[in-house]
Chains A and B, each alone.
Chain A
């Protein structure tokens, strides 16, 4: 028996699961927006702007979910500053929850600055103060902020998995692959979000096709890492002999990865879903990304230590 079965569950459930999903999605979208911003073309700007918007909304939502989940929400700032030694900052580079709190804050800051810069560029900012701030985020500064936001975004997407690995809980601490898996899932769900929202902000059909092509590759990487993750769990895999295992196989691997891959590669084989294969695949990728967090979190949370210790 793995030594992780003697630890206690942290009750990270109905605020943390959406947070992991939204943070991953926002981080992935920001990462893609940064790559396209730095290596793309002017006609890709609608996708970049959509990415920054998704990142900003996602980062703010992530911060709110994380704060609401605390036992003492008004003390959220204790993660950033030493409450008894102000204004000294609180930062532990070896604790993912500590550096993650800073990453979300900086990620949100970069994303909001990028949004303000893009809105100022379009002349859509009425507030003079916001217009002044947005006006400074242009040219090289905009690229720098976008690049930093992209790196912080993919960091936020992945640190959630690393955070789980840096515990003593079953599944989470039994494999080093969760961070990599959440990075890949963040990229695939981020691309799926841009596929669905991009056209509303003026993204061209070609841009959506390119995002879809990237999503295909990201899903292949995600599937590969998911297999490595399961192999690395070894005997702990018996935990999946439960509803959460069924959800992982049917919901995450089947509906969330294999069906979208099929829709990308051979849409005609999928009946009604083939009518809008790219959009339908994107919706399924988002569903799979959420179910991945749900199954991973609740399969471990559900293990009651006193029953395991008693051999029941």
Chain B
């Protein structure tokens, strides 16, 4: 059994070159948006805007400027987090979403029927429908490449090693050393998703951030969707019980009224 594999993304060395986006699109044969017609987002240098069914990698550009010479760029190459406890896998009603031998989460396109439950279940907004296949799709952590001992296309293409691929245990050690290095330089840096005892049992694609997670479009405390199931289900049952009792009481009241009038009281 192989070790759990994943990504450690060090956002401090990302230069926003989008080589990862291009490599991902090329290897996975993902179609261009809008029929290939270039569409400007108007949001900085970000022309793809989000992760979805045809964008499995997305380089986020965050501009933090107080004045013309007082500010910074934050860049982050975002991807599926391959959560240890994955909300998408939890709700998928067809069994299309599986956990692989590398502890990654993969959608089997030939099983998925496009119900889109996984899209709403993902706390990170990673999954969407691929308009070509009509099924939900996202990063597979290059499962096909991993099977033959190759590194995922995005990390292979990353020129600054912002995206590092490897065994999760080794990546965590490396990430912790990098945080200590940055702290020594006076940089406020934190790891997001590296804690196996944290939210969702840890993320197999985790990040080094220099600002709050929300700034990077990441939820502070992501939840499993089923965490609401027991409470929501209990309240629904209680509501149905109250309405059932109201209906029965109405029918019983009629019988009692008829009996008091001396009419037929039998049901």
Name A's B-contacting residues (CB within 8 A).
1, 3-12, 31-32, 35-36, 39-41, 69-73, 75-76, 78-79, 82-84, 90, 92, 94-98, 101, 154-155, 158-159, 161-163, 165-169, 172-173, 176-184, 187, 210, 213-214, 217-218, 221, 225, 305-306, 309-310
Contacts and interface: CB of A to CB of B under 8 A. Distances in A.
Contacts of B96: 78
B113 A70 contact: yes
B119 A8 contact: yes
A179 B220 contact: no
B223 interface: yes
Contacts of A76: 113
B229 interface: yes
Given A3-B223, A176-B232, A214-B250, A75 B94 contact: yes
A225 B223 contact: no
Given A35-B247, A70-B115, A214-B250, A90 B94 contact: yes
A51 B108 CA distance: 41
B238 interface: yes
B236 A78 contact: no
Contacts of B226: 94-95, 166
Contacts of A159: 236
Given A71-B113, A78-B94, A31 B244 contact: yes
Chain A contact residues: over half helix, strand or loop, or mixed? helix
Contacts of A83: 94-95, 111
Given A12-B116, A70-B114, A72-B135, A179 B122 contact: no
Contacts, number: 227
Contact of A213 (B121, B125, B222, B250): B250
- The range of chain B's interface size is 35 or more
B129 A71 contact: yes
Nearest to A178: B232
A154 B112 CA distance: 28
9 contacts: A10-B117, A10-B119, A76-B113, A78-B111, A166-B225, A180-B235, A210-B254, A221-B243, A221-B246
A168 B115 contact: no
Contacts of A221: 239, 242-243, 246
A184 B158 CA distance: 54
Nearest to B235: A180
A95 B239 contact: no
